[in-house]
Homo-oligomer: A and B are copies of this chain.
């Protein structure tokens, strides 16, 4: 039985906007010894699996500043305080980043991006019957191109590493699991 560690002290280090850094001093329940652990405080995130009536995923390509590479991803971003829910945040990000809207939005799952160093969660939202409805609204720091990718091609794109963002792979894995458990009417016989 694994027990929780006790927090002895918590020391804020720096605020970088997208995250804050904190050092926690905690005591081991097994040895009684104290250790320091660095933790990042981030907002919660959302990723959107947006599917068109033709069984295509609405994906985006963008330059990513951590890896310095152009990545094939799905729409997503931060759950803002002004968003009523992760679903609302997902629909907003989908609209802002691709101009698409859809129906039947629901949460497919919620994971922890990195429990070792981050406390936040990332929800995956499924939106079906998506169609292009709005002009794009990019932030000044965003350059995005929309790509429609047949759902059937996704496993190959993951296997070959063309899709390599961990949180995008997780979202597509949750979508695949949901399809296998209860394929929707638009998916039957085709997934």
**Contact residues of A with B, CB < 8 Å?**
1-5, 13-14, 16-19, 21, 23-24, 26, 28-31, 33, 35, 37-40, 61-71, 109-119, 122, 140-141, 143-145, 155, 158-159, 161, 164-167, 169-170, 172-174, 176-178, 180-181
Contacts and interface: CB of A to CB of B under 8 A. Distances in A.
B143 A61 contact: no
Contacts of A65: 5, 24, 26, 37, 39, 116-117
How many copies of this kind of chain does the complex include? 2
B113 A166 contact: yes
A158 B174 contact: yes
A111 B169 contact: yes
A2 B70 contact: yes
Nearest to A65: B37
By DSSP majority rule, is chain A's interface helix, strand, loop, or mixed?
mixed
A18 B38 contact: yes
A27 to B, nearest CB: 11
20 contacts: A2-B62, A2-B70, A2-B144, A2-B145, A4-B68, A16-B21, A16-B23, A28-B140, A31-B140, A35-B141, A40-B66, A111-B164, A111-B165, A111-B169, A113-B166, A114-B165, A159-B177, A159-B181, A166-B167, A172-B173
Q: Which of A61, A116, A173 is packed against the most chain B CB atoms within 10 Å?
A: A116
A35 B173 CA distance: 33
A61 B122 contact: no
A88 B116 CA distance: 22
Contacts of A4: 63, 68, 70
A71 B67 CA distance: 27
